[in-house]
């Protein structure tokens, strides 16, 4: 790691470049998808980087309606817009239209992954006051962490005992005048544990957007498990040492399935030897091997040294951003797709939709929905639907007055057509010429019928009654 | 798949106006500021109460009624001690006792409910709420019906007891009382009629008729009889808040009679799923002729050895001669509208043919539906394993257990929410000929042999050494045939571990080491090796 003291010392104090961000946002109602929640005012931090840009967290500016940014000790608010947003790694880049905003501001430079036990200082605008706040702490741990903003991605993260509170989000973590992290999350219930996004993740993001679009961190689609049982190592003809972890199974990614097999033993990923516990040594920290794949960009190939059929071999594995579990994580940016017909509200099943059920969304009562979203694609890939559709709700009207199944039901078929995505619902309904529409559900083939002529007559009445601007959003 | 098989479970009410509950008397309270005066007044009142109690020996607790009814000679108290298993450590057991009520019947028999009589080690019976405990013997038990018959051979027991008659037909609902022995006295509490429902109980998935009453009493639901004047109404089976569920005499009597005649074959049930036909567009789609009515069959389980007589989208118009309305109710001559499920247990047993009129694609057909026998073992994840110690098999520290609801219930009263979702979800899946049951790797007792697998748990085993696993016996046999010196254990496809391999040669030594280190007496308990001592339904 090389620092650049000459460059750093010439600069002004870092706080000059730390920005206070106010975001006015509106999230969609996932069970009434044409509607949005009340406007919420959120506050976060950011900092100026090269190219007249502000870096912050994605969660600071998600679902934005208006973003205002303020410089250090400057009362004037400036309008900002999102230029890039990366929900998987919780980072975003903002642009400010008014060029004057950047006058006199030095962009902060990025440093390297800080060492465990070294001291860092966070800069930001946390709750509890209007002025900038500094907190000092040590780097407690470097590990793979769940990034809670999207919820189903784990990337390299750094834990510190410097206080990181709401409002700190997006602020820089500084060491020797260089940004060594972006503060982003804490763990409720654990004391003195704040987390920041380290330079390897930040640089990956910045490299990704160089082509003008953000793709995301690639996934190998490999379930890598420790290989420490001496008998299993013997079974595979491996020496009883600490090298090599086992591929237990593969995610349904064709490019991975073409190259990898269950029971392959991965000895090395790129430059990193893989330990028998599935970890690699990354800049002095033992972290889970998946980290090594995250260094690649979407579409790049990663060289793997494998132990297969009792001999060493080398393969090149192309890795891509994985879309297959999109709905199992929190979604942002695009409001939910829907189609309303005869008062029946059809929308894709998603984690966001399940959360509208409240704290106990995973109740036995919703088992089919939970299974569909989290398990089916692993267990029954042939029956997996690309976009499972739910009857989210039934807007009461005389056409549907006698429905027994009227909400939270997974749709199987409509008019005999299997529903794999929202477009199938529309096609099945609009192509039907019979007197009734037949909607079948999972489980147990429960069904409801809707009189076609009545439903068509009721269409505009229902939209008007319930204040729905359009019958669909695709 | 487990029936109670209609969408959106609901209860059917037999409506009667609820009597207004009498206002409780206002308690006398000392007025503020009158401390010393009222102290005297309270002391005097207390003395008066003691005197009154002394003058009226045998009076039950305050609020309860008592009278020399003759029921003292017909109701006995029972104490059942049973084994209580910890399914997270299936090799351990504890003891638990439960007080229950029993009713003396003709022929030296005592009728009680089956609840808590399973896994019993000792049944004791006491007359008149006091004195000697007699040793009882359970001669017949049916967990689906929630009924048991107990007897005793002890001399003198029956001498001064008076058998009670379980009446036939509709029960009256006026002047009801729930009766039990408490602290040596017969306690009687006034009960109010609430409704008749058709529902499953705690013990079985079979829905049957239940009478709901309310009474100011705590801790009943253990077979305490309910009377209307001198007529037995039924036995209490469940108690939540003020609501007490009662198994009506009209349900019990036919079972007892059939049992005496040797014709009782256990309860049957409707194994299909149906939904109410309240949506007229659905009936039009199914081409029903005439008035809207009936219940729509939506799923029929497949049986490998027979073609089901019902098909999805059949409309059930009549069952056993009763018209089915669009709610899925029939008009019971005794109890008013009841859910059609009741027609599977209304004086019918497993194997009986139930005549049904159905509408199929617009044509009316007469069919005979044969009631399948209610058995726990036919579910992929059985609801219950009464009178069986938990099965397990320990091999090299890996603990294998059958997946069943008693195992999942180890997660406590809220087990449906708290148990691991994926293994709970097998309750929603149907058995197949290849996979009639499931074996779980529930935990690993750490040993050098299973190094690297210590954290593996809650995984359903798919195959071992290439052999498909449905029961512990399959696993036992598969472990006898390791290919090439290794045991290969594979799990069902999921997002968790799929495969592990261990040494075959070291297995036995590792198992012995684990048993010794963790203080476990035996490496397995298989019910096939020690079948449960059961007195099954169907044998008088």
Contacts of B203 (CB under 8 A, 6+ apart): B114, B115, B143, B144, B146, B384
Q: Which residues of B touch A367 (CB under 8 A)?
A: 421, 424-425, 428
Distance CA A169, CA A177 (A): 19
Active site (annotated) includes residue A88: no
B66–chain A Cβ distance below 8 A for any pair: no
pLDDT attached to residue B532: 55
Judged by CB atoms closer than 8 Å, whether chains meet at B7 and A262 is answered as no
Q: Which of A221, A224, A228, A229 to mutate to test the interface with B (most CBs of B within 10 A)?
A: A229
Distance CA A75, CA A240 (A): 65
Q: Output the CA torsion B474→B477→B478→B481 (10° steps).
A: -170
Question: How do B329-332 and B336-339 pair as beta strands?
Answer: antiparallel
List domains and CATH numbers for chain A. 16-102 (2.40.10.10), 119-211 (2.40.10.10), 222-318 (2.30.42.10), 336-473 (3.20.190.20)
B281–chain A Cβ distance below 8 A for any pair: yes
Q: What Rg, from alpha-carbon coordinates, does chain B have?
A: 28
Identify which of A229, A248, A444 has the shortest CB distance to residue B299: A444
Distances from the Cα of A246 to the Cα of A278, A368, B114, B196, angstroms: 8, 32, 51, 60
Distance CA B490, CA B483 (A): 14
DSSP B133-192: EEEEEEEEEETTTTEEEEE---TTSSTT--------SPPP-SSEEEEEEETTEEEEEEEE
CA of A369, closest CA in chain B: separation in Å?
Answer: 11
Q: Which residues of A touch B424 (CB under 8 A)?
A: 364, 367
Identify which of B8, B282, B498 has the shortest CB distance to residue A448: B282
Distances from the Cα of A87 to the Cα of A332, B75, B136, B447, B454, angstroms: 8, 70, 69, 43, 35
pLDDT in tens, A25-81: 999 999 999 999 999 999 999 999 999 999 999 999 999 999 999 999 999 999 999
Taking 70 as the threshold, does the pLDDT of residue B36 lie above it? no
A359–chain B Cβ distance below 8 A for any pair: no
CA of B152, closest CA in chain A: separation in Å?
Answer: 44
The active-site residue out of A31, A64, A88, A90 is A90
The mean pLDDT of chain A is 94
Domain regions of chain B by residue span:
71-151, 176-261, 273-370, 377-525
Q: Which residues of B touch A238 (CB under 8 A)?
A: none
Nearest CA in chain B to A361: B417
A396–chain B Cβ distance below 8 A for any pair: no
pLDDT in tens, B88-126: 999 999 999 999 999 999 999 999 999 999 999 999 999
Active site (annotated) includes residue A90: yes
Q: Output the CA torsion B175→B181→B182→B183 (10° steps).
A: 140
CATH for the stretch B273-370: 2.30.42.10
pLDDT in tens, B422-463: 999 999 999 999 999 999 999 999 999 999 999 999 999 999
Q: What is the mean pLDDT of residues B206-217?
A: 95
B284–chain A Cβ distance below 8 A for any pair: yes
pLDDT in tens, B77-92: 999 999 999 999 999 9
pLDDT attached to residue B174: 87
pLDDT in tens, A408-465: 999 999 999 999 999 999 999 999 999 999 999 998 899 999 999 999 999 999 999 9
A226–chain B Cβ distance below 8 A for any pair: yes
Taking 70 as the threshold, does the pLDDT of residue B45 lie above it? no
Taking 70 as the threshold, does the pLDDT of residue B13 lie above it? no
pLDDT in tens, B147-184: 999 999 998 999 999 999 999 988 888 899 999 999 88
Judged by CB atoms closer than 8 Å, whether chains meet at A404 and B503 is answered as no
Give the range among A212-216, A265-269, B59-63, B285-289 with minimum mean pLDDT. Answer: B59-63
Cα B117 to its chain centre, rounded Å, is 11
Judged by CB atoms closer than 8 Å, whether chains meet at A229 and B501 is answered as yes
The active-site residue out of A43, A62, A133, A169 is A169
Cα A316 to its chain centre, rounded Å, is 27
Identify which of A263, A370, A404 has the shortest CB distance to residue B275: A404
Judged by CB atoms closer than 8 Å, whether chains meet at A379 and B493 is answered as yes
pLDDT attached to residue A290: 92
Nearest CA in chain B to A359: B417
Assign residue B262 a region (left: φ > 0; alpha: ψ between -120 and 50; beta: otherwise).
Answer: left
B287–chain A Cβ distance below 8 A for any pair: no
B418–chain A Cβ distance below 8 A for any pair: no
pLDDT band at B52, cuts 50/70/90? Answer: very low
- Alpha helices, DSSP H, located in A53-198: 58-61
H/E stretch holding B513 reads helix B507-518
Distance CA A206, CA A199 (A): 10
DSSP B237-276: EEEETTEEEEEEHHHHHHHHHHHHHT-----B---SEEEE
Distances from the Cα of B86 to the Cα of B297, B406, B426, angstroms: 40, 9, 21
Q: Residues of chain A with pLDDT > 90: what percent? A: 88
Which CATH architecture describes the domain B377-525?
Alpha-Beta Barrel (3.20)
**Closest to B490 measured CA to CA, from A263, A173, A60, A239:** A263
Q: What is the ipTM of this complex?
A: 0.91
pLDDT attached to residue B535: 52
pLDDT in tens, A165-198: 889 999 999 999 999 999 999 988 777 889 999 9
**Closest to B206 measured CA to CA, from B94, B346, B386, B355:** B346
Identify which of B7, B273, B499 has the shortest CB distance to residue A248: B499
CATH for the stretch B71-151: 2.40.10.120
CA of B284, closest CA in chain A: separation in Å?
Answer: 8
| Fold match flag (B71-151 vs B176-261) | yes
CATH for the stretch B176-261: 2.40.10.10
pLDDT attached to residue A130: 84
Q: What is the mean pLDDT of residues B35-57?
A: 35
Identify which of A404, A438, A443 has the shortest CB distance to residue B276: A404
B217–chain A Cβ distance below 8 A for any pair: no
Q: What is the DSSP letter of A28?
A: B
Active site (annotated) includes residue A43: no
pLDDT in tens, B453-491: 999 999 999 999 999 999 999 999 999 999 899 999 999
Computed from CA positions of residues A427, A431, A434, A436, in that sequence, does the dihedral angle turn out positive or negative? positive
H/E stretch holding A55 reads strand A53-56
pLDDT in tens, A223-251: 999 999 999 999 999 988 899 999 999 99
- Alpha helices, DSSP H, located in A149-296: 199-208, 230-235, 254-259, 290-294
């Amino acid at each position: 790691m090389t620092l650049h003291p000459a460059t750093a010392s010439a600069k002004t104090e870092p706080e000059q470049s730390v920005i206070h961000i106010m975001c006015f946002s509106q999230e969609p109602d996932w069970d009434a998808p044409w509607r949005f929640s009340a406007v919420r005012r959120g506050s976060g931090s950011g900092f100026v980087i090269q190219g007249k840009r502000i870096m912050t967290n994605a969660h600071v500016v998600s679902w934005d309606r208006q973003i205002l940014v303020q410089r250090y000790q400057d009362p004037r608010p400036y309008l900002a817009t999102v230029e890039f947003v990366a929900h998987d790694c919780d980072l975003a880049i903002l642009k400010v239209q008014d060029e004057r905003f950047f006058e006199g501001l030095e962009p902060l430079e990025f440093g390297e992954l800080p060492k465990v036990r070294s001291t860092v200082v966070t800069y930001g605008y946390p709750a509890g006051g209007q002025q900038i706040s500094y907190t000092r702490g040590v780097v407690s741990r470097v590990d793979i962490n769940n990034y809670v903003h999207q919820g189903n991605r784990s990337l390299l993260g750094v834990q510190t005992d410097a206080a990181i509170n709401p409002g700190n989000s997006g602020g820089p973590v500084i060491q020797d005048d260089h940004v060594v992290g972006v503060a982003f999350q804490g763990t409720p219930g654990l004391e003195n544990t704040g987390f920041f996004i380290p330079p390897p993740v930040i640089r990956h993001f910045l490299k990704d957007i160089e082509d003008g679009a953000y793709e995301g961190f690639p996934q190998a689609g490999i379930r890598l498990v420790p290989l420490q049982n001496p008998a299993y190592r013997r079974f595979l003809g491996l020496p009883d040492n600490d090298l090599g972890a086992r591929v237990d199974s593969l995610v349904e990614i064709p490019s991975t399935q073409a190259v990898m097999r269950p029971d392959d033993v991965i000895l090395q990923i790129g430059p990193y030897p893989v330990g028998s516990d599935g970890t690699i040594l990354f800049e002095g920290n033992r972290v889970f091997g998946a980290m090594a794949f995250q260094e690649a960009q979407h579409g790049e190939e990663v060289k793997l040294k494998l132990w297969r059929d009792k001999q060493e071999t080398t393969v090149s594995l192309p890795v891509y951003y994985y879309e297959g579990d999109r709905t199992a994580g929190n979604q942002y940016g695009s409001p939910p797709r829907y189609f309303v017909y005869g008062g029946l509200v059809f929308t894709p099943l998603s984690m966001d939709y399940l959360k509208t059920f409240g704290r106990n969304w995973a109740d036995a009562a919703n088992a089919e929905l939970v299974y569909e979203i989290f398990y089916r694609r692993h267990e029954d890939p042939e029956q997996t639907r690309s976009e499972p559709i739910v009857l989210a709700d039934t807007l009461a009207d005389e056409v549907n007055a006698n429905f027994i199944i009227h909400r939270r039901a997974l749709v199987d078929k409509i008019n005999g057509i299997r529903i794999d995505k929202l477009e199938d619902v529309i096609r099945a309904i609009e192509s039907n010429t019979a007197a009734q529409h037949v909607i079948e559900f999972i489980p147990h083939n429960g069904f409801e019928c809707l009189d076609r002529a009545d439903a068509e007559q009721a269409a505009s009445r229902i939209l008007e009654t319930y204040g729905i601007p359009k019958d669909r959003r695709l | 798949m487990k029936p109670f098989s209609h969408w959106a479970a609901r209860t059917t009410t037999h409506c009667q106006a609820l009597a207004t509950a009498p206002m409780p008397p206002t308690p006398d309270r000392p007025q503020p500021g009158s401390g010393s005066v009222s102290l005297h007044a309270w002391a005097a009142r207390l003395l008066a109460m003691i005197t009154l109690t002394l003058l009226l020996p045998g009076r039950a607790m305050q609020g309860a009624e008592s009278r020399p009814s003759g029921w003292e000679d017909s109701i006995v108290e029972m104490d059942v001690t049973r084994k209580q298993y910890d399914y997270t450590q299936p090799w351990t057991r504890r003891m638990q006792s439960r007080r229950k009520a029993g009713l003396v019947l003709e022929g030296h028999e005592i009728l009680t409910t089956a609840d808590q009589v399973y896994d019993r080690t000792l049944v004791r019976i006491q007359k008149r709420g006091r004195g000697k405990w007699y040793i009882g013997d359970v001669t017949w038990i049916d967990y689906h019906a929630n009924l048991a018959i107990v007897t005793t051979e002890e001399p003198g027991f029956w001498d001064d007891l008076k058998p009670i008659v379980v009446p036939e037909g509709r029960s009256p609902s006026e002047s009801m009382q729930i009766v039990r022995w408490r602290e040596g006295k017969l306690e009687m509490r006034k009960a109010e009629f609430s409704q008749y429902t058709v529902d499953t109980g705690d013990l079985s998935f079979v829905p049957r008729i239940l009478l709901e009453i309310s009474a100011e009493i705590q801790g009943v639901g253990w077979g305490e009889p309910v009377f209307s004047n001198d007529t037995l109404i039924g036995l209490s089976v469940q108690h939540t808040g003020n609501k007490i569920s009662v198994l009506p005499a009209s349900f019990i009597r036919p079972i007892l009679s059939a049992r005496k005649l040797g014709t009782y074959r256990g309860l049957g049930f409707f194994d299909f799923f149906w939904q109410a036909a309240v949506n007229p567009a659905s009936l039009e789609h199914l081409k029903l002729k005439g008035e809207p009515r009936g219940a729509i069959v939506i799923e029929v389980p497949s049986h490998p050895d027979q073609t089901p007589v019902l098909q999805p989208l059949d409309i059930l118009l009549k069952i056993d001669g009763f018209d089915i309305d669009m709610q899925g109710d029939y008009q019971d001559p005794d109890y008013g509208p009841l859910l059609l499920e009741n027609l599977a247990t209304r004086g019918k047993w497993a194997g009986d043919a139930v005549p049904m009129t159905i509408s199929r694609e617009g044509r009316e057909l007469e069919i005979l539906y044969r009631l399948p026998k209610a058995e726990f073992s036919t579910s992929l994840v059985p609801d219950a394993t009464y009178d069986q110690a938990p099965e397990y098999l320990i091999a090299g520290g890996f603990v294998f257990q059958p997946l069943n609801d008693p195992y999942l219930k180890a997660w406590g009263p809220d087990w449906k929410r708290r148990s691991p979702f994926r293994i709970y979800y097998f309750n929603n899946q149907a058995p197949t000929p290849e996979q009639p049951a499931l074996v779980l790797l529930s935990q690993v007792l750490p040993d050098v042999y299973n190094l690297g697998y210590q954290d593996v748990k809650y995984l359903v085993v798919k195959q071992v050494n290439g052999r498909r696993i449905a029961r512990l016996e399959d696993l036992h046999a598969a472990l006898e045939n390791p290919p090439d010196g290794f045991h290969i254990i594979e799990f069902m496809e999921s997002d968790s571990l799929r495969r592990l391999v261990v040494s075959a040669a070291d297995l036995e030594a590792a198992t012995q080491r684990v048993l010794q280190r963790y203080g476990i007496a035996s490496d397995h308990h298989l019910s096939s090796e020690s079948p449960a001592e059961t007195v099954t339904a169907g044998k008088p």
